[in-house]
Amino acid sequence: MSTDPVPPAPTTAPASTPPHPRAALHARLLVWFDVHRRDLPWRAATATPWGVLVSEIMLQQTPVVRVEGPWTAWLERWPTPASLAAAPTDEVLRAWGRLGYPRRALRLQQCAAAIVERHDGVVPTAEADLLALPGVGSYTAAAVTAFAHGRRAVVLDTNVRRVLGRLTAGTALPRPHLTQEETRRADALVPGDDATSARWNIAVMELGALVCTARSPRCDDCPVRDLCAWRAAGYPADEHAAARRTQAWHGTDRQVRGRLMAALRDATGPLTREELVAVAGSGDEQAHRSLDSLVADGLVSGDAESFVLGR
């Protein structure tokens, strides 16, 4: 079955790609954002830079609806980098719960410790300093620069890359990996002043989340549809579909690791290797391999036969 987006059929397809006046894009999209923006807790005026950083880590590969509750509980428990840095690792992993990719929880705690050690417990404002923190990549550093500190940055997550790719390059979906050309085009569109650039970044992101979605874009609701190169080209299919195929979830080591982590989170004491193999729901070889990989990642610790969550 094809997973290509199925947009509404265009009534007319212009023969050539329309121009992209920056002023029109900025004005229309920012007006649209003011009306349609979601009320998310990490966007509130009371949200701290630390709260924004936590949200960005939690939102990596995880939908907003699954993050809102855990984010609120996390900030109530660990409202500062110093409080998280001092927390026991097993408590951090239990609080992470079922957000997925639990190594993110360890990286976030390591990030908190680095902020305490290098920046006196205050989330740094310089993008280069953010990028040097454990677990912080180029997207997260740019997002915190823009959304926590209100400074100009080029924020490129999946939603932004998809919107800008359709608008400026006429591509259905971006390449699996970010390119220098994408970054250059995005930088050229980001407004020059700090306040407007921060709003622009989040507005483009919001358009991608709510309207210009991957599979079912609502092109009739798009405020800049007449400036869209993808629409002008007649909505060509995803040219990178073959490179985007991923392994099914069922039966993978990731699934087994998740079961093992869930059992250890719920346990009141250590579990034996035999008990963990029993809950893995897989063959013995895969269960042992998955358990050993959790130990190697620092998510689980213990001796040869008894294991607990954390280090």
Q: Which residues are catalytic?
A: 56
Residue 234 DSSP class = T
- Cα distances (angstroms) measured from residue 273 to each of 21, 92, 103, 278, 304: 62, 23, 21, 9, 8
35 CB-contact burial (10 Å; exposed 0-12 / middle 13-18 / buried 19+): exposed
Q: Phi, psi (5° rounding) for residue 229?
A: -70, -30
Cα–Cα distance for residue pair 3/215, rounded to 1 Å: 7
Nearest CA among 209, 219, 166 for reference residue 43:
209
Cα 99 to Cα 105, 106, 218, 277: the distances in Å are: 9, 13, 29, 23
Residue pointed to by tokens 């807790």: 41
Handedness of CA 164, 170, 174, 175 (dihedral sign): negative
Count of other CB atoms within 10 angstroms of residue 121:
15
Cα–Cα dist 173/300, whole Å: 38
> Vertex 165, ends 203 and 150: CA angle to 5°?
30
Helix orientation angle between 89-96 and 103-119, rounded to the nearest 10 degrees: 130
CB atoms within 10 A of CB 286: 17
